Structure 1
Amino acid sequence: MSHIGILCPGAIGHLNPMCNLGIELLRRGHKVTLFGVPEVKEKIAQSNLEFYEIGASDFPIGSIENMYAQLGKLTGLEGSKLVIQFFKKEADMLFREAPNAIRSAGIELLLVDQVTGAGGTIADYLNLPFITICNALPLNQEPGIPPSFTHWEYQNIWWAKLRNQLGYTLINYLTQPIWDTLVQQRKKWHLPPHHTRSDLYSQLAQIAQLPQQLDFPREKIVPWFHYAGLLKNPSNIEPVSLNNQSFSFEHLNDKPLIYANLGTLQSHNWQIFHRIAESCLDIDAQLVISLGNPKADPSKTNFPGNPLVVPFPPHQKLIDRSGLVITHAGSTAVSCLSSGVPMVAIPITTDQPGMAARVAQAGAGEVVSLKKLNASNLKSAIKRVLENPTYRDNAEKLRSAIQDAGGVNYATDVIEQVIHTKAPVLQLFSVK
């Protein structure tokens, strides 16, 4: 038995896959502790993981939710800049508090979310092995792959690679404050210097929460990179969720179901929901809109037509019943594909444009950018996806790919291999 620690952001989309890994590790006899700020404790209460509180002075209860509320009002690079500011503050806190907490807990291996850049340096300082978990789109940079914050298609030609390099130059410039913090901390702790962003990630195993068939074709990925597919609980029960999750399924009729969900972060933008409702007025389907917030009041929405508007329904169960999902293309995109459901993506910020571009390339959905979001464009995209069976066929192919990738079981096999060997784990054993 090993004692495994988890470092990740306090967002549901990051906590759920990490907790699912932790639950499987618990089942296999290991001890798992998640290190987080105060308001994370209640979120993971259903997971049975140990919790070690850090960062109370920097992130008092309510501060994370306030940041997410601000993020929900922003789009494009403005949203990305807010996230970068948050991760800079988080890195400062982690460097100050996490080493003593991890040492005190007796951790033997760390699972570090890829966006928690400080995690690898903390592991190096404590002389602990660590594994990088890519719960969002992989951030690994290479010339042939468009940066995750862009909507660019994959094109294996020279000018596209130059364009990608310029995109990486921009994101590296924007994240320079975080990088400087990491470089300075490694110098302070007398650790070998990092030279590139790829140095931040584990040299033992990197695990991505998507199937390889959904990603753009990478040529320079490290041999210990593993596409595990969706890291979800086999029972489809999310260990981390908001309270008051409810929905009366008897309200559904026999028409095709269109489910609109912008997640919990972008759910404050009701103008997009208004556009969605307007675009569905003349489509013979039933529209269900999730406001992504159990405190939201559907009676105040006044959306066109007669959509079924609910504060916070059971997400995956509605996806499973849907003929089409309209989404911001965050982690919801992989959840849709795990059920073989096509989508229309309206990417808003952070890595959502990159995920939407991958969905479009795979032929499992259409993308409508915010700049082109109007009722006519959105209606055309919805009708194409509903009426052309190719989209669902391609979504079904990705569903099979996600199942074949192995998910939580495969990822946990990789983690245990690292525990046993303390050496890089290549894709040498079969997925079951």
Structure 2
Amino acid sequence: MTHFGILTPGAATGPLHTMLPLGQELQRRGHRVTLFGIPEAEPKTLAAGVAFSPVGAAEFPMGASAEGLSKLGQLQGLAALQYTIHLLNQLSMVMLRDAPAAIKTAGVDALLVNQGVVEGGTIAEQLQLPFVTVCSAVVLNAEPSIPPFCTPWRYSPARWARWRNQLGYAVLERIAQPMRDLLDDHRREWKLPRYSSPNQAYSPLAQISQAPAEFEFPRQELPPWFHFTGTYHTPASRIAVPFPHDQLNGKPLIYASMGTLQNRLQWVFETIAAACEGLEVQLVISLGGSAKPESLPDLPGKPLVVEYAPQLELLQKAVLMITHAGMNTTMECVQQGVPMVAIPVANDQPGVAARIAWTGAGECVPLRRLKVPRLRNVIQQVLSQDSYKQQVLRLQQATQRAGGVQRAADIVEQAVATGKPVLA
């Protein structure tokens, strides 16, 4: 039996919805699993039946991140990315200080590191523990032929596109400089070699993405131990959410959510409601905790508005989802075969939205061009043209073939048991 430790960024819902099902699967196989994180991650972790060990309780007591997330929810684009990196840097400082001792005391044998925890590989090296990188967001590995994860750029093999990508990576490198400085300081202190490339922070044994390979742009430089395993999402890892099912009227259901982070742009919900008004559908809006439904009582078309929604359950009924293009929500739509209209706000969402459009599983409406007529036209287009449904079903079949959480757990077990790269 192996004792696995999980490192995930803060208490963010998206990464938890990837990491916890993988932890549950390893527990079903007889292993022990403990998530090391700030106290706000504890309720969701324990609800999934996974053990929890607090880190950074002094700096991040229960409720401490609410102010930061509230500010993040009001930002968009480059400003939101910069602020996200600032928040992650604060978490990284605490993790680098506290996690090694907590992990050592717990007797952990191996680590599962979310790709968003850039310090995770350094912690594993300092403790001389094997680790596996798990990508719950869009794949972050830098590659000249692939646009940076935070851009809305579509893939192109043209030379001009490579120049564009290189410029994008240069800007991203500058924004992320404080994070690199922090890692360099700790690696120097711990007598570890300095990273010469951001990709060196990821596991040399196995790197796993929850997407199917068909969703990703044509990669040429991923390591041979990179695996696309498909999505892991399951209601078994989530806290139950009440929902007024009796208010569903039987019309084709459009489900809209802007996630749980960049979701405080109230005008976006107003635009979505106005765009759906007059269509022969029922619109359900989840505010993702950004506000109470009473704060939006007069939305056009009188949609059903809730603070939170049982997303997987609603997607089983939906004909379309209007989404912020978070990777987890996107993979849940793929899992359920639901076409999408993406309205990306920040961070990796523009990159995910670009892949939604590139695969034909939906369309993207940039935030700067979000107007009621344009959004209504795109909604009607995706609803009326069968190609979108067919393409998302193609991705659904691909993710089913990819093996899901069972294959991911197989890869993790093999990597830890052999100590050698698990080749795809």
- Asked whether the two chains share a fold, i.e. TM above 0.5, the reply is yes
Say how many residue pairs are matched.
422
AA at the equivalent of 2:185? Q
* Shift, 1:254, TM fit: 3.0
* Shift, 1:30, TM fit: 0.3
Given the alignment of the two structures, is residue 3 of structure 1 paired with residue 3 of structure 2, yes or no? yes
Alignment of 1:330-349 (within 5 A): 330=326, 331-349=328-346
Alignment of 1:118-133 (within 5 A): 118-133=119-134
C-alpha root-mean-square deviation of aligned residues, in Å? 1.3
AA at the equivalent of 1:135? S
* Shift, 1:198, TM fit: 0.7
User: What corresponds to 1:239 in structure 2?
Assistant: 237
- Please say if residues 264 and 290 of structure 2, whose CA atoms lie closer than 8 Å, have aligned partners that are also in contact: no
Alignment of 1:89-108 (within 5 A): 89-108=90-109
* Shift, 1:26, TM fit: 0.5
Runs of at least 5 residues in structure 2 that lack an aligned partner in the other structure: none
User: What corresponds to 1:350 in structure 2?
Assistant: 347
Q: Alignment partner for residue 257 of structure 2, among 258, 261, 271? A: 261
SS of the equivalent of 2:254 reads strand
AA at the equivalent of 1:253? N
Given the alignment of the two structures, is residue 139 of structure 1 paired with residue 140 of structure 2, yes or no? yes
**Separation of aligned partners in 1, 2:102 and 2:123:** 11
* Shift, 1:292, TM fit: 1.4
Question: What's the CA shift string for 1:63-100, capped at 9, x where partnerless?
Answer: 22322221111100111111100111111111111111
User: What corresponds to 1:364 in structure 2?
Assistant: 361
**Separation of aligned partners in 2, 1:16 and 1:172:** 28
Q: Alignment partner for residue 245 of structure 2, among 243, 249, 265? A: 249
- Please say if residues 123 and 130 of structure 1, whose CA atoms lie closer than 8 Å, have aligned partners that are also in contact: yes
**Separation of aligned partners in 2, 1:402 and 1:145:** 22
Given the alignment of the two structures, is residue 275 of structure 1 paired with residue 271 of structure 2, yes or no? yes
Deviates more, 1:46-55 or 1:299-308: 299-308
**Separation of aligned partners in 2, 1:382 and 1:126:** 51
Alignment of 1:42-191 (within 5 A): 42-191=43-192
User: What corresponds to 1:200 in structure 2?
Assistant: 201
Question: What's the CA shift string for 1:269-299, capped at 9, x where partnerless?
Answer: 2210100011111211111111112961336
Change (3 A) 1:76 1:37: same
**Separation of aligned partners in 1, 2:229 and 2:46:** 25
AA at the equivalent of 2:29? R
Question: What's the CA shift string for 1:324-363, capped at 9, x where partnerless?
Answer: 1000000211110111100100000100000000000000
**Separation of aligned partners in 2, 1:176 and 1:329:** 26
User: What corresponds to 1:391 in structure 2?
Assistant: 388
**Separation of aligned partners in 1, 2:376 and 2:104:** 55
* Shift, 1:395, TM fit: 0.6
**Separation of aligned partners in 2, 1:294 and 1:346:** 17
**Separation of aligned partners in 2, 1:26 and 1:221:** 29
- Please say if residues 279 and 375 of structure 1, whose CA atoms lie closer than 8 Å, have aligned partners that are also in contact: yes
Change (3 A) 1:426 1:327: same
**Separation of aligned partners in 2, 1:299 and 1:111:** 40
- Please say if residues 186 and 192 of structure 1, whose CA atoms lie closer than 8 Å, have aligned partners that are also in contact: yes
Given the alignment of the two structures, is residue 403 of structure 1 paired with residue 400 of structure 2, yes or no? yes
User: What corresponds to 1:327 in structure 2?
Assistant: 323
- Please say if residues 206 and 225 of structure 1, whose CA atoms lie closer than 8 Å, have aligned partners that are also in contact: yes
SS of the equivalent of 1:44 reads helix
**Separation of aligned partners in 1, 2:359 and 2:60:** 40
**Separation of aligned partners in 2, 1:83 and 1:299:** 27
**Separation of aligned partners in 2, 1:305 and 1:4:** 49
AA at the equivalent of 1:303? L
SS of the equivalent of 1:150 reads coil
User: What corresponds to 2:27 in structure 1?
Assistant: 26
- Please say if residues 294 and 312 of structure 1, whose CA atoms lie closer than 8 Å, have aligned partners that are also in contact: no
* Shift, 1:16, TM fit: 1.6
**Separation of aligned partners in 1, 2:375 and 2:261:** 22
SS of the equivalent of 1:144 reads coil
SS of the equivalent of 1:220 reads coil
- Please say if residues 15 and 240 of structure 1, whose CA atoms lie closer than 8 Å, have aligned partners that are also in contact: no
AA at the equivalent of 2:349? Q
* Shift, 1:238, TM fit: 4.7
AA at the equivalent of 1:42? P
* Shift, 1:307, TM fit: 1.1
**Separation of aligned partners in 2, 1:384 and 1:408:** 34
**Separation of aligned partners in 2, 1:267 and 1:246:** 20
Deviates more, 1:277-286 or 1:219-228: 277-286
**Separation of aligned partners in 2, 1:240 and 1:181:** 33
Runs of at least 5 residues in structure 1 that lack an aligned partner in the other structure: 428-432
* Shift, 1:303, TM fit: 0.7
AA at the equivalent of 1:325? M
SS of the equivalent of 2:405 reads helix
AA at the equivalent of 2:364? V
AA at the equivalent of 2:203? S
* Shift, 1:301, TM fit: 3.5
User: What corresponds to 1:302 in structure 2?
Assistant: 298
- Please say if residues 110 and 123 of structure 1, whose CA atoms lie closer than 8 Å, have aligned partners that are also in contact: yes
**Separation of aligned partners in 1, 2:184 and 2:215:** 33
**Separation of aligned partners in 1, 2:293 and 2:268:** 17
User: What corresponds to 1:17 in structure 2?
Assistant: 18
Question: What's the CA shift string for 1:109-145, capped at 9, x where partnerless?
Answer: 0001111011101110111001111110111011110
**Separation of aligned partners in 2, 1:56 and 1:150:** 34
User: What corresponds to 2:282 in structure 1?
Assistant: 286
AA at the equivalent of 1:259? Y
